[in-house]
Amino acid sequence: MTESHKFGSLSPITCHTWNKDRTQIAFSPNNQEVEVHQRNGNEWKLLDTLNQHDLRVMGIDWAPITNRIVTCAADRNAYVWTQDASGKWKPTLVLLRINRAATCVKWSPNENKFAVGSGARLISICYFESENDWWVSKHIKKPIRSTVSTLDWHPNNVLLATGSADYKLRIFSGFIKDIEKPPEPTPWGVKMPLGQLMAEYINCPGGGGWIHCVSFSPDGSKVVWVAHDSSINLADPTKGSGFIKLKTEFLPFLSCTWISPRSIVAAGHSCVPILYTVGANGQLVYGAKLDTSQKKESGGLSAMRMFHSLDKQARVETSDTNLDSIHQNAIYCVCIYGGDKSKANKISTSGLDGQLVIWDINSLERSIQGLKIE
């Protein structure tokens, strides 16, 4: 069953995140604020508004265990939010030491640090220094040559996948020796001092495009990313320095996540979440569209049908301007709602149409012919 929710505003929801038990959601309505809502059945109650930022919020993440929210914005700042005894959220400013907008943020799996990407061509690794009672940041700069647009942590809490507008996907070490032990060797490398470049992939063959979203597989052995050239890409370090690039027929994807060890969901400007699987030979294979409300195209492209529907007065029926999908505009954010990357049974999407949609993977698997989550 698919659920669609709106929060009383027509503003786009550019990013959202859930608390541990999925009873509360924090999202930004495309401005400088973050709203925290409590779910009660199909109703939503506004609990708090986080309004310390001066410019548009670009990234948000909710740590499930420590129950802390981190936000970053175009005002070049990040805040860590903690709840007091009355349930109100209190901010702590994090000095990122950047001179451009903060574009994305992500807690590490152990929740003892977080990473912030920025337009300053660097990544800030932030952790809490208990001696001075403040959050400090260390920078990863080289060889990044453009805005960092996306981040994702490896399950080992050290490796960090980053995508940027210079068409490159990079794997860095985010090891902080003051707060953690040296990591075990991985297929990505053995020695991992802070800022060490472990792998680099250039998303240029066949045209290329800047990277919109990146996601490590559940065990961290692979990484998938989507780019503005309408491609979805897969890298496996055990199979050499190359990667699999699948150019799709869809408009560019803006977000992606693993929902099982061999299944990926991607969504973007085509307004529908789409399933891809990793075949036995390591190739990416198209699975199905998760939006079962779509009608089959019998008369050619929708734009062509709309053109044919114009009458002599150049008028068009209102219904012809609606998309045959639940989302009516680009999907900007895909999150796991039920389960985790190793086995997700529900995902949530939000987009420029102001909707939050929850997709039940198990029911979709039964209703869509050929859809199989492995």
CATH code that applies to domain 3-367: 2.130.10.10
pLDDT tens string 262-287: 999 999 999 999 999 999 899 999 99
The percent of residues above 70 in pLDDT, for the chain, comes to 91
- Determine the pLDDT at residue 8: 79
Sign of the CA dihedral 227, 116, 14, 334?
positive
Residue 241 has pLDDT above 90, yes or no: no
Domain segments of the chain: what residues?
3-367
Query: Among 114-123, 196-205, 324-333, which is the least confidently predicted range?
Result: 196-205
C-alpha dihedral (355, 356, 362, 363), degrees to nearest 10 = -40
- Determine the pLDDT at residue 364: 81
Residue 313 has pLDDT above 70, yes or no: no
22-61 burial, b for 16+ CB within 10 Å, e for fewer?
bebbbbbbbbbbbbbbeeeeeebeeebebebbeeebbbbb
Tokens of 43: 């109703």
Residue 192 has pLDDT above 60, yes or no: yes
- Residues 86-90: contacts with CB within 8 Å, 24+ apart? 87/47, 87/48, 88/48, 89/36, 89/48, 89/50
Residue pair 117/103 in contact by the 8 Å Cβ criterion: yes
Listed residue (333, 373, 323, 324) closest to 354, CA to CA: 333
Confidence of residue 300 (pLDDT cuts 50, 70, 90): very low
Q: With DSSP H G I counted as helix, E B as strand and the rest as coil, what are the percentages for the chain, rounded to 5?
A: 5, 45, 45
121-134 burial, b for 16+ CB within 10 Å, e for fewer?
bbbbbbbeeeeeee
Report angle CA 256, 173, 144 to the nearest 5 degrees. Answer: 70
Residue 304's Cβ-count burial label (10 Å; 0-12, 13-18, 19+) is exposed
Residue pair 147/119 in contact by the 8 Å Cβ criterion: yes
Under DSSP, the state recorded for 203 is: -
Sign of the CA dihedral 335, 339, 340, 346?
negative
Query: Among 223-232, 250-259, 307-316, which is the least confidently predicted range?
Result: 307-316
Mean pLDDT on 36-59:
95
Residue pair 126/96 in contact by the 8 Å Cβ criterion: yes
Tell me the backbone φ, ψ of residue 320, rounded to 5 degrees: -75, -15
pTM for this model (two decimals): 0.91
Tokens 């508004």 -> residue: 49
The percent of residues above 90 in pLDDT, for the chain, comes to 79
Mean pLDDT on 302-310:
52
Residue 160 has pLDDT above 90, yes or no: yes
Residue 373 has pLDDT above 80, yes or no: no
Tokens of 106: 């992500």
Distance CA 11, CA 91 (A): 24
Tokens of 95: 């000095």
For every residue of 228-267, DSSP letters joined together read TTTEEEEE-GGG-S--EEEE-SSSPEEEEEEEETTEEEEE
Which uninterrupted H or E stretch holds 362? helix 361-367
- Determine the pLDDT at residue 240: 87
- Determine the pLDDT at residue 154: 97
pLDDT tens string 104-125: 999 999 999 999 999 999 999 9
- Determine the pLDDT at residue 322: 85
Report angle CA 280, 281, 284 to the nearest 5 degrees. Answer: 85
Residue 208 has pLDDT above 80, yes or no: no
Listed residue (57, 61, 38, 35) closest to 48, CA to CA: 35
Residue pair 170/160 in contact by the 8 Å Cβ criterion: no
- Determine the pLDDT at residue 369: 62
Which uninterrupted H or E stretch holds 361? helix 361-367
Distance CA 87, CA 229 (A): 44
